Structure 1
Amino acid sequence: MESDILDILDQLGYSGPLDEEAGLLAACGRGFGSSEYVSLVTWLSSRLTHSQETLVTEDPDRCRLDAGRLLKDLCCPYEGLASRLSDGDVQDSEEHLKILLFLASELQAEQMVVSKPAVDTEELDASLRDLRVICEALKLPDPDGRDARDLFTAVEQEVKVLLKQLPEAHVGDPAFTSSLRPDQWDELERIGGVLSAEYECRRCMLVKRLDVTIQSFSWSDRAKVKIDRMARAYQQRRYSLSLRSEVSTAHLLAARQDLCYMMKTSSGSYREKTSCAINRILMGRVPDRGGRPSEIEAPLPEMPAWKKRSDGGGHGGNRGAGGWRGGWRAGRWSRGQYYH
């Protein structure tokens, strides 16, 4: 639990005295008797309530009561924790950790919800941002306030001038040469959105595998004492990974025909850069691990195969003289069973 709290606090930008596991556990052991713990609860509560007035950190009773009311208002899922906190009955260090985990998780969720409109605004302004990058690369004036037709004309003319300065065949032919109608462009955008959602799902799966793998490294006794160093080294790189695909229709239009040719890794042009001394090492005999479908035997049948009855055996041999059909009168029923 303390590792999760430290990760969330790091994402929230907390840089107080309880950013280490040992200090956090020690402060939770003393609860509201620790000024560092009271300060952290105050820091989380003030951001959750959007209060400009910082709670009095020197008064642990007030901080405890305010935190109890906040847990009750936010419908804390830990049964009875809010009421016990208001009554001053919380003494266990684990329950103090739960208070921090709940408050930090709520603040993290709130920041994610608040930042969502900003992301949508970025997507709406993506075209303007790309135009600014184009104008900066071509050394053209800023596109703000300019007519779109004049802007694209200036970009086209500047690109043509630069292409003439390049060697012949430096820029290959485009891979996409078709001319689409407006409805076809809309359909292309829809297909691109479906593919982006699929790639995002796959990226989420790969990142989750990465998180689980890194988490498994901390199970050993040697790693437990260095878990803070591992978190600092990993979290920065982890949250720099983008889950959303950045490939768009613009990349399709910019693609050249050389992307359509697949070269084998064993080709001579590739081997000039990938060959090394280890390629001359031959592997010896290795154990046979099987895996050949043609050599796998079929499983035994769950039921025996049906066979035709042989003459003179069982009830089929005396059908006319007391069998199940012709001779049922010769027997009698007793308790659900048939006797001859």
Structure 2
Amino acid sequence: MENDVLDALEDIGYTGPMLEFEALEGAVDGGPKSIEYTELVAWISTELKTLCNFEEHVHAITTPDDSSSFVMEVSSFLKELGCPHKSLTEGHLSERLKTKDSRLLLLEFMLCELEAARMIKVKKPNLSDGMQVKLKESSTANDLKTMLIALKFPKPPANITSGMLFGKLEQKVKEIVSKAPAGLVGKPLFNGTLSGKQWHTLEGIQQELHDEYKMRREMLIKRLDVTVQSFQWSDRAKSQEDRIAQIFQNKRAQFRVQPLVELSHLLAAREDLAVLEKTSNASVRKNTQTSINKVIIGQVPDRGGRPSEQQPPPPEMPSWQQRPQ
């Protein structure tokens, strides 16, 4: 077993004096009363503590009189390590590590555990981070939290149900709305009741509109990208490519392809949303009219360009003729 322990010490990169067979044999013969033996056990336990995040490790003795405390620390450390060898963890303290085989067994077991811990550390370096459960707050929970804070609700207890919470919210909102001036909130645009089938149909319509406007946004953003790229073709703009890209990308990053309209917006819509104002209305034209609209363009020459008025192009190949004799 001494040779197995020496091979294991070399494999884990141990560089101490116990790499010599005579030194290891003498330390094992001394057992818990040997300072060299306890230093080797303490070094292995320190390595395991670092890799396995243990709270304690074994301390080496300074005098042979400390052997009993060393055996107690070893037994406690082995229990934390989950040692299956009962001869090392059970029985009277004076009987543990009494024989040479038990001392070599302790070294062999701890070295095997150290090799396994290092292999796990290499293959899964972030194992401790991966086992941490991080709760991510959903957008719905964030909105509900904001609503509770705005309504000055205290923190709800952990055992409250969703029905009770929304019931208290509804009661509080009705109380605030009743005290608000008339017309501040407005009447809902839709206050009817739909069946499950109707909600399913409405959800399908909303999904179709979502896909349609997503496609429109993609087209408009693509046209914008192509237009900006075409401006960069000129020789004057080529020297300003970095500046143009910096200015444009800051604005471009704000555009979203996915529409943010959901069914909840339908339930929250008020009656004023149904009022359609003409683009030719005086209040609207006040902000959109320009001085160019007051200029009347006179008669201009007809430049043609209508395909129906043009002569067809000549044939690309001459007509076939018979070869002369």
TM-score norm. by structure 2 comes to 0.46
Which has the larger Rg?
2
TM-score norm. by structure 1 comes to 0.44
